[in-house]
A and B are shown apart, each in its own frame.
Chain A
């Protein structure tokens, strides 16, 4: 049960932390339509995180008998207990960085959820069947923006390329595997991330070409998210996410 718990928690953290970053952009997007789009992406991701955390609460409850809910995992854990990949916690920066981070994530999340529909774990398969449809729209959106930025003006091209160069080092971690994941792969609960990497690379390479952007090479990949080692800005993100729940435990509307 423990590997399933950790694995599901990681996926929930990936969705929640990216959602929190997107929510920081509300009222700061370049146009009102994009403000709505980014907050809608965030809403979908929060919905996915809720479903995943609810399942985590169920698994953990079966192990120790304690009653927890989804909020426990979002609001009552310390920073080092979050196991999201570093990519999704990267600060927003300019619009190109927001879009590139989103695209590199969505190009992973879409094929991830598609294959997870075939998980032998019924709950994960059900969450996947729901999430894959939403994520298909996320990928369409972030992909079309990346093409517009890359194949746009000199300035948008320059910023898009800088963002790709900046974010690339965080993409290797998406496909890393460890004993937690291997245990689930052998039970067909999860799937080999290497195959996912090929699909991801295909989407990313095609889109970068269309966007007249270059794929970075020889980049030393950063990792640590899944062992709880986060970047400095992560503490401020968690501070803002948890401040209300910490100051007023159990508060409701």
Chain B
């Protein structure tokens, strides 16, 4: 017999003549054992005896699994033996053999079941010394556990930070139904750059901000925090929405921690006598909000100024918009319209059509529906960019008392 697929070479033939088969077995560079159907060792080579310090007569008749450390015995009974029985083979099982002196020898085990011509099955077990490999694997496992813990901590930190950058809940405003939705990019491991806020200015007026900071992660989080708090602080001192965004612009420019920039919308809202919502608004380089009429018409409102924190001189506009009862004003970040499916972009047109068709009552329901549509468009998979949507709806007036 020769090696499959080759003519016997001279070297092969010589090795065959010179190698003593018993010597091949006894001093093989691995432990070699045979066991009967019950797992009792019937034959074992010298290498295994040398490695483990057992005499041959101590091993023969003993069940192989009793040589293993107790935890490995359970694994043997629950995995190794069933697998061997059903598949006829197991490979690369890691275990510790308890040696004659009580020391543990880490090994890798391969085994096959062989049908003996006389009926009874034999199990052939080969054992490889794996001390160094197993020590290395243990280090790798410990490293992986450390890495998993670190990733979990990073995720928790990102979520915590994200929460501090968004309002915990929407306030209840007489005459205005407010809804908001936010979805972080990817798996939420990175702090996103989108932000929004709704807060009270005085007895009648409310401030609404929504924006998108360039980038993600810690650098973006600095500007996001700066934007949210600067807008809040400035808005109580001035009725001018453009003055608020201009103040933010200068705050970003002067901020030493970052060279980033952002786009933002800022609106003030108060409710008129007939239930109509009066808005003043400015847009700093941000997509303009969409006004959805009760008949489903969708109109962009306001004028788009410059990005904030980028170039001087800054140009901003200030516009007035009225939202009648039943009408909705939709503020969104580019995570909605720049959602991608392969090469295809979600786009403004699709958002206009969606809003024209939805006719959803309830600001929160509308915000959720827009977010869901953008996420679905991407196949529901991990979104590329974060998405923020705020909806202001003129509340239908309750029937007169």
Partners in one complex: no
